[in-house]
Every structure is written in structure tokens, then in C-alpha cells.
Amino acid sequence: MQLLRVAWALTGAAICCFLILLIHSRLLQEGQLAAGTCEIVTLDRDSSQPRRTIARQTARCACKKGQIAGTTRARPACVDAGIVRKKQWCEMVPCLEDEGCDLLVNKSGWTCTQPGGRVKTNTAL
């Protein structure tokens, strides 16, 4: 009789642990990002003006201590918070490999210049 009670208790504990692990894994899949990663939440493009496209994106990041959401190689990324604080945008390497980075005069953003001369202007909010 005692052996049966112990068996039922162990079975119940095993089922409980399994359910907790299942719920935990579902929460991570559905809403949480791994530390140090980012994802694009919204991306809007406005091409209503000739020869000009205005793109706005919103990213969600789970940055580690000392980091903040930024841009690396034209993708959202966690960067050193000091870069943003000092507004030294080009230090986070925001442009693609073949592009040159320059700060805007008022340090409100940066430009990425492609080899053919096309310029992409980025401003930080």
C-alpha cells in the first residue's frame, strides 16, 4: 500500500515538472527574446516623394547590461550605451561593408554613402 502511494506521488511530481517545462518553453517561443538580440517589429516605407524613400522601422531588443538598442550593418542590434550617449553613431558600424559612414553636422544621425554615390541618411529619435 505504501509503495503504491509513493508511486502515485512520483508520477504526480513528474507530470507537474513536465507541465512547468512545457509552459516555460512556450513563453520563450512566443514573447521573449534571447539576451543580446533584436527583432524588427514594424517597417514602414513612404515613396510618395520623387527620388526619395522614407523608411521607418521599430525594433524590439533584449540588450545586456551596458548595452542599448542601435544599428550594426544596417540591422537592429545591441550596442555599447556609450556610443549612443556620446552620439558617435559611426562607432556602432551602422553601414554595410562597402559603404562609408559620416556623422550629420548636428550629430542627430549619420549617412551611409554607397560606392556609386547614393546616400542614405539615418536619424536617431
| Neighbouring residues of 4: CB distance < 8 A, sequence distance ≥ 6 | none
Domain match, 58 and 21 both: no
Domain match, 84 and 65 both: yes
Domain match, 27 and 68 both: no
| pLDDT number for residue 100 | 93
Q: What are the tens digits of pLDDT across the range 61-100?
A: 889 999 988 888 888 889 999 998 899 999 999 999 999 9
Domain match, 118 and 67 both: yes
Q: Are 101 and 95 in contact (CB under 8 A)?
A: yes
Domain match, 19 and 52 both: no
- State the pTM of this model: 0.65
Among 79, 95, 77, 76, which residue's Cα sits nearest to residue 87?
79
pLDDT at 39 over 80: yes
Report how far residue 108's alpha carbon sits from residue 125's, in angstroms, rounded to the nearest whole number: 8
Domain match, 28 and 42 both: no
- 76: domain range? 37-123
| pLDDT number for residue 17 | 45
SS3 47: coil
Task: Return the DSSP state at 40.
Answer: E
Q: Are 36 and 62 in contact (CB under 8 A)?
A: yes
Report how far residue 121's alpha carbon sits from residue 29's, in angstroms, rounded to the nearest whole number: 35
